[in-house]
Amino acid sequence: MFTDSHCHLNYKGLVEDQQAVLARARAAGVSAMLNISTRQSEWDDVIAVAERESDVWASVGVHPHEADAHPDVQTATLVARARHPRVVGIGESGLDYYYDHSDRARQRASFRAHIAAARETGLPIIVHTRDAEEDTAAILAEEMGKGAFPGVIHCFTASADFARKALELGLYISISGIVTFRNARDLQETAKDLPGERLLVETDSPFLAPVPHRGRPCEPAYVADTARFLAGLRSVPVEALAAETSANFQTLFAKAA
């Protein structure tokens, strides 16, 4: 059974036919999905799906694109909402210097507030990083020095060196459908060698549909395609990779277990 460790079931492309999306995921062997929030206005709806669906869990957080619009979302706000029994993660949060939709200093402050919430609650922080490897690694290391916290680098596309730094800090790494892309050779090489006990798979749906679904909205059912491709890269049976990544999800997101 597969686990989609990161999806956006409330986003356009999935929310219009959410029940059918969930049905297709279950038919594909997906036994658990983590529905991720990116702004405070989504929290109630994301949590409501998790309340309604026993195989769906929720996160609370503010994406770095939204940091400027959420100056009042501090650690205490996140901790309070994370008490909900269906909320199992903090985020997604992190740094995105590719689009710079929010001020970089504001992104860094928001990221640190999310890390503090992860530390206080014991729930994993779900880390987004794009074109910000150096600052992301530095903040993670500095904050880990203040007290350990669990976490995952979601939709990993960074360098092998960044992967090494994240793993040394005890973090997990989640691979999306990008690994199936023809131009993702560096990522494929890195993914081959990641330790199995720290590996997750995800869709980030409705984005980043894997081969052979390119050009369509992505959905949680497609995590099976990513897992098959990744299993081939790593020369392991897909059943073994599915079992290991699902077990890793339960270990990291222990509240879901």
Q: Averaged in consecutive runs of 10 residues, what is the pLDDT profile of the chain (257 residues)? A: 97 97 98 98 98 98 98 97 98 97 98 98 98 98 98 98 98 98 97 98 98 97 98 98 98 96
With 0-12 CB in 10 A as exposed, 13-18 as middle and 19+ as buried, what is 247? Answer: middle
127 close to 153: Cβ distance less than 8 angstroms: yes
For residue 252, the Cα-to-chain-centroid distance in whole angstroms is 12
SS3 155: coil
In a domain, 246, yes or no: no
Domain annotation covers residue 252: no
pLDDT score recorded for residue 138:
98
C-alpha distances (whole Å) from 41 to each of 67, 83, 162, 202, 234 are 13, 17, 32, 23, 40
Report the C-alpha gap between 178 and 204 in whole angstroms: 10
Please report, for the domain that includes residue 63, its CATH number.
3.20.20.140
Q: H or E stretch including 69?
A: none
Question: In terms of residue numbers, what domain contains 76?
Answer: 14-221
Task: Name the β-bridge partners of 35.
Answer: 7, 58
Determine the pLDDT at residue 221.
98
Place of tokens 């909205």: 217
Per the domain annotation, does 256 fall within a domain?
no
Q: Judge whether 244 lies within some domain.
A: no
Per-residue model confidence (pLDDT) at position 58 = 98
- Is there a domain that residue 209 lies in? yes
Q: What is the predicted pLDDT for the residue at 42? A: 97
**pTM as predicted:** 0.97
Q: Are 202 and 4 in contact (CB under 8 A)?
A: yes
pLDDT at 178: 98
Rounded Cα gap, residues 18 and 28, in angstroms: 15
Q: What is the pLDDT of residue 165?
A: 98
- Determine the distance from the C-alpha atom of residue 70 to the mean position of all C-alpha atoms in its chain, rounded to a whole number: 20
- Cβ atoms of 71 and 112 within 8 Å: the answer is no
Number of domains in the chain: 1
Confirm if 242 and 199 have CB atoms less than 8 A apart.
no
User: 192: left (phi > 0), else alpha (psi -120 to 50), else beta?
Assistant: alpha
The answer to whether residue 117 is domain-embedded is yes
- Would you state the pLDDT for residue 46? 98
Structure tokens at 201: 């798979």
Tokens encoding 216: 């369509």
**Which pLDDT value is given to residue 122?**
98
Whether 67 is covered by a domain: the verdict is: yes
pLDDT on residue 192: 97
